[in-house]
A = this chain, B = another copy of it.
């Protein structure tokens, strides 16, 4: 019965509502201070401090001290992907529990998943990339790679591939989208694409939330850049 890794420890960490709120807030990818997270979770500073300590010990969070603030982020992209997977389960099994909030439609349209785009538009992007033969199954970490034509495409979009490859992080990774029940693109490339979209003013992040707003121009240009096989 003591087979495999200790899954209960991590489950218990995620299982507390306050900590779950903290992790959800951090899924926005932004570094947040301890007090911001306390407000986000609806608890006092002291309580948050205790929770953050536990999350650190559990290896789910990374911190950066800066002056009298302490900024927290998710430890790495794997944590984000696992949380997104859990959200998929929760959304599906959650029956009536999760009454959809006001921001729900916007979240499903486009949101940030740690550091890359998720939601309807992200899935469209992934589909377009694969149907045009830009992605392939490989043995490199992440299990996904760019084809030659794919490399040309993203380079033409202003992305420096050699820079991305120099990092330890996998270039491409599939991440299960909880609202669409389909994969979208994560990894270093997924993050770089989101940065490019913001540079073009195609998308704009809502402050203090994971929601991403797509401008009319962005909507048009993104659909042109990532056409769907009719």
Contact = CB atoms under 8 A, between A and B. Distances in A.
5 contacts: A6-B90, A7-B20, A11-B20, A14-B15, A60-B93
A194 B68 CA distance: 56
Given A6-B94, A82-B88, A137-B144, 8 more contacts: A3-B24, A4-B91, A7-B20, A7-B87, A11-B20, A12-B15, A60-B93, A78-B88
A83 interface: yes
B3 A8 contact: no
A40 B59 CA distance: 28
Contact of A40 (B1, B14, B181): B1
Interface in A100-149: 101, 103, 107, 127, 130-131, 135-139, 141, 143-144
Interface in A29-59: 40-42, 58-59
Contacts of A141: 181-182
A178 interface: yes
B178 A5 contact: yes
